[in-house]
A and B are shown apart, each in its own frame.
Chain A
Amino acid sequence: MRNRWIALYVENQVGVLAKVSGLFSGKSYNLQSLTVGTTEHEDISRMTICVTSDDVTFEQIKKQLNRMVEVIKVIDLTNVPIHMKEILFAKVKNCTTADKVVAFQIAQAFDVDVVDYGEDSVLLECKLTERKNNELIELLRTSFKNIEVVRGGAVAIESISTSCAGRTEYKKK
């Protein structure tokens, strides 16, 4: 069992998202994240899907997606170099001055932006990998009493050169 990544080109039509996500619930596939947006062609959407599964199930997932009429192309990103990022906003609330210092230190260490600031709160905007975002949330949770988090799910695209530093997941088993 491990995380696997799929890029999915689908028709940009009503009900396609429901059909794709329905497949995962209907067949008990373990969906980690799913993001969707339009592409350079306005009638085509692209999804980035992360699932946790064994090899056999993953093969089946790809086949099941492939046979949907609305699915144009399935690309397995699991073992290819990719760039992958997830947007995340984290609001640290009820801060003391000392808390704010820690928040800024964390922001600096994780290389994320402080995009808003108030009397007793700080807003961080993070564009990290999903894994790094998980670590950041964990750190914020232990460091502060009151945080509010919203995350967008990962988007991924194949790398142009294999040596670039964008890849994250595929080297680790």
Chain B
Amino acid sequence: MDITGRKLIVKALMEEGVETVFAYPGGMVTDILDELYKTDTIDLVLPRHEQGLIHEAEGYAKSTGGIGVCIVTSGPGATNIITGLADAHYDSIPLVCITGQVPLGLIGNDAFQEVDIVGMTRSITKYGVTVRDRKELGRTLKMAFHIAKTGRPGPVLIDIPKDIQTSSGPSEYPKSVSIRGYKPNENVHIGQLKKGYKLLKSAKRPLFLIGGGIPIAHAEALMLDLMERTQVPVVTTIMGKGSVPTDHRLYIGNSGMHGKYAANIAVSQCDVLFSIGTRFNDRITGDLNEFAPRAKIVHVDVDTASISRNVVVDVPIVADAKLAIEKLLEWAEPQNTDKWLAQICEWDKENPLEMRRDRGMTPQMIMEQINECFDSGIILTDVGQHQMWATQYIELNQNKKFITSGGLGTMGFGFPAAIGAKIANPDKQVICISGDGGMQMNIQEMATSIVQHAPVIVCVLNNYYLGMVRQMQQLWYGKRYEATCLRRQKQCPRDCKGPGEKCPPYTPDFVKLAESYGAKGIRVFKEEEIAPAFEAAKQHNVTTIIEFMIATEDLVLPMVKGGNPMSEMILSK
């Protein structure tokens, strides 16, 4: 029996086990929404902006390991999710995004709310297609779910014209799908892996470099086992942080632009770098000629195109991280790394991660209190200085998950992603660490967190600046704080070089803003107020913004200037 396209769409969602969809209405998706109205197994989350919507879906997917499903209308609804698609593409987050489209006959007419969304998003989706034939709808939807979650996961966009939604056609939703051009790697090349392991075993100064591929493959426990069995120390990228417990004696820290001194020196001094699930992004390598100059490099990644792109490696291995580690565990033997570990400890003592404690409340103190006050939960960040401080000082283990926007570096990601994570994990404590700039980029989602009963503890580190860029201006642009001061008003002097007594008041007042949404607001000025604020927020059954008034001109240190070798770190002001 034939059914309408809209019925088939909802049938597909149900057969895929979708429990939550993030949807914003519009003329070209009203049919799908009308069909969802009739189901009681799928929850619909209505955000306040489509950009918030897609970041919520990302947080939902990332915190569960499942797929985030978005439904938005044609035109502006579709263009508003573009940033989120790019973000999910970079950070390998599985999403299925259904965009409404004007009826087939109107495509190309510059119809009301018509855009070529598939064309616009071709380079930032794993797959995207407009359904032009009602008969193809079932297979296309199945393809979307299959492609989004297999291989290197990513966002898939399915553009469905209005008349495809309303016209009748086959009712079948296929159980599986075979795509001749898409065969994700499901095996490990044992010969290559053995070669890689041999190299690791022969090393005097071996090092694991772990990226976001480990959490994506759910291989955290296996990685911990591998690290302990081999006694080889681990450094992580920011996407890999938390793959092994951060308080483990074999865990050194993050490497990269704002990584730990000891971690970056270890990378530059190791003789075998065994990397799993990382793309060797420029924030990790710095000057490519100087990256791990003494090391033979083994690279395990599920994405062929990530191997030998930025760094030419000695042993390339195309494999899912989990499969590769399972195999490695069959061979793993303890190595004598005592001397190497002692050397790394020495480097860490030379330049530990530490902010001065004599000038009032610092970001480090806030992060330490988060470590102290929460023994489990999901911690998300936005993008900027606070994000780097979080990656430096937040302690993670099996009970604490860390989610951040790494590849695209999307300001405005943190808060909606936290709402998505909370919706998916109502029993877990969700903490969002944000800056005063990024928080305002999707502030409208306050309403979503209230109406969805998805309480999040939001830490806004307010230094009155778009701090990461101001940090560059401070160091390399003669303190010309153009376009980075959020207190600046029209009457301010042209040549302002920093904050003073005459500065205008900050806007908005985050505490009052929270209250206007029916949320709670707490403002924290001093170190001793941090813990009580967290304790109070824990008691609230509603989203709480804690605004931390931090020093205005603090820097994220250490740092490596873009393009410089990782061993050349700026350690102090």
In Å, the complex CA distance between A66 and B308 comes to 15
- Do B122 and A22 touch (CB < 8 A)? yes
Residue of A nearest to B127 (CB): A69
Partner of A14, one of B130, B147, B304: B130
A 1-57 contacts with B by CB, 8 A: 10-11, 13-15, 18-19, 22-23, 26, 56
Q: How many residues belonging to B are interface residues under a CB distance threshold of 8 Å?
A: 22
Q: Which of A55-95 contact B (CB under 8 A)?
A: 56, 59-60, 63-64, 66-72
Q: Report the interface size class on chain A.
A: 20 to 34
Smallest CB separation, A170 vs chain B (Å):
24
Q: Does B303 contact A (CB under 8 A)?
A: yes
> Which parts of B114-128 form the interface with A (CB within 8 Å)?
118-119, 122-123, 126-127
Contact of B123 among A11, A14, A26, A71 (CB under 8 A): A26
Contact B119–A60 (Cβ < 8 Å): no
Q: Cβ of A68 and Cβ of B181 under 8 Å apart?
A: yes
Q: Which of B119, B132, B147, B180 contacts A72 (CB 8 A)?
A: B180
A108 to B549, CA, bound (A): 85
Given A14-B130, A15-B119, A18-B122, A69:B305 Cβ within 8 A = no
Judging by beta carbons under 8 Å apart, are A63 and B122 in contact? Answer: no
Among the interface residues B126, B127, B143, B305, which one has the most CB atoms of the partner chain A within 10 A? B305
Contact residues, B144-163 vs A (CB, 8 A): 147
Q: Is B309's beta carbon under 8 Å from chain A?
A: yes
Q: Are A69 and B130 in contact (CB under 8 A)?
A: no
| Set of chain B residues within 8 Å of A15, measured between Cβ atoms | 118-119, 122, 129-130
Given contacts A26-B123, A69-B127, A69-B179, contact A63 B304 (CB under 8 A): yes
A-B contact count (CB 8 A): 45
Q: Are B122 and A69 in contact (CB under 8 A)?
A: no
Q: Which residues of B contact A56 (CB under 8 A)?
A: 308, 312
Do A67 and B179 touch across chains, with their CB atoms under 8 A apart? no
Tell me the minimal C-beta distance from B186 to chain A in angstroms. 15
Quick check: B118 and A69 within 8 Å, CB to CB? no
Q: How far apart sit A48 and B308, CA to CA, in the bound complex (Å)?
A: 25
Q: A72 touching B181 by the CB < 8 A rule? A: yes
* Chain B residues, Cβ within 8 Å of A68: 181
Contacts of A67 in B (CB 8 A): 303-305
B122 touches A19 (CB 8 A): yes
CA–CA, A106 and B222, complex, Å: 72
A13, B128: Cα distance in complex, Å: 12
Q: Closest residue of chain A to B312, judged by CB?
A: A56
A8 to B179, CA, bound (A): 16
CA distance A22 to B181 in the complex (A): 18
Contact residues in A for B476 (Cβ distance below 8 Å):
none
Say yes or no: B312 contacts A69, CB within 8 Å: no
CA of A11 to CA of B126, assembled, Å: 16
Note all chain A residues with C-beta closer than 8 A to B182.
69
A67's nearest neighbour on chain B, judged by CB, is B305
B130 contact set on A, CB distance < 8 A:
14-15
20 contacts between A and B (CB under 8 A): A10-B181, A15-B129, A18-B119, A18-B122, A19-B122, A22-B122, A23-B123, A56-B312, A59-B308, A60-B308, A63-B304, A63-B305, A63-B307, A63-B309, A64-B305, A66-B305, A69-B143, A69-B182, A72-B180, A72-B181
Question: Interface residues, chain B, CB within 8 Å of chain A?
Answer: 118-119, 122-123, 126-127, 129-130, 132, 143, 147, 179-182, 303-305, 307-309, 312
Chain A positions near chain B (C-beta within 8 angstroms): 10-11, 13-15, 18-19, 22-23, 26, 56, 59-60, 63-64, 66-72
Q: Besides A10-B181, A69-B179, A69-B182, 19 other CB < 8 A contacts?
A: A11-B181, A14-B130, A15-B118, A15-B122, A15-B129, A15-B130, A18-B122, A19-B122, A22-B122, A22-B123, A23-B123, A56-B312, A60-B308, A60-B309, A63-B304, A64-B305, A67-B303, A69-B143, A69-B181
For the complex of A and B, list the 4 residue pairs with the smallest distance between their C-beta atoms, beginning with the closest.
Answer: A63-B305, A72-B181, A69-B127, A69-B182
